Structure 1
Amino acid sequence: MNSTIWLALGLVLVLEGLGPMMFPQAWRRMILAMTQLPDTRLRRFGGGIVVAGCVIYYILRSHAEG
């Protein structure tokens, strides 16, 4: 696998870990609130994150190659 993918995954893990490490109570409230959302809304939210990630990856990849 490309090292860029591994670097990106590592950065995602660092950023994901900062929330519960720095703000555990707010993180817990957010997770509890998300469990109350309907599945369709969670799927839309997840799909939006995937699309945003793909767009960012495409833009950065095209600038790095160019």
Structure 2
Amino acid sequence: MSNNLFCSLEIQRGLSMTSNGIDNNFYNILNSIRNSNIQQKYCHNCGKGYKLSDNYCLDCGIKLEI
């Protein structure tokens, strides 16, 4: 029960931080960390897609060349 309370408080805290602009920097840092894990790359097989850290295209599933 306390775990759910903690999660809901963290969610509310996150929403209030981004909505009132007090801690937009924290939100931007979090997004940059999240985006650094997924890098958009061109897939030579399907012509689109994303490259994950394990070098597989999300659209067609083939392994991409580095």
Q: Under a length normalisation based on structure 1, what TM-score does the superposition of the two structures give? A: 0.40
**TM-score normalised by structure 2 residue count:** 0.40
Kindly indicate whether structure 1 or structure 2 has the higher relative contact order, using CA contacts under 8 Å at least 6 residues apart.
Answer: 2
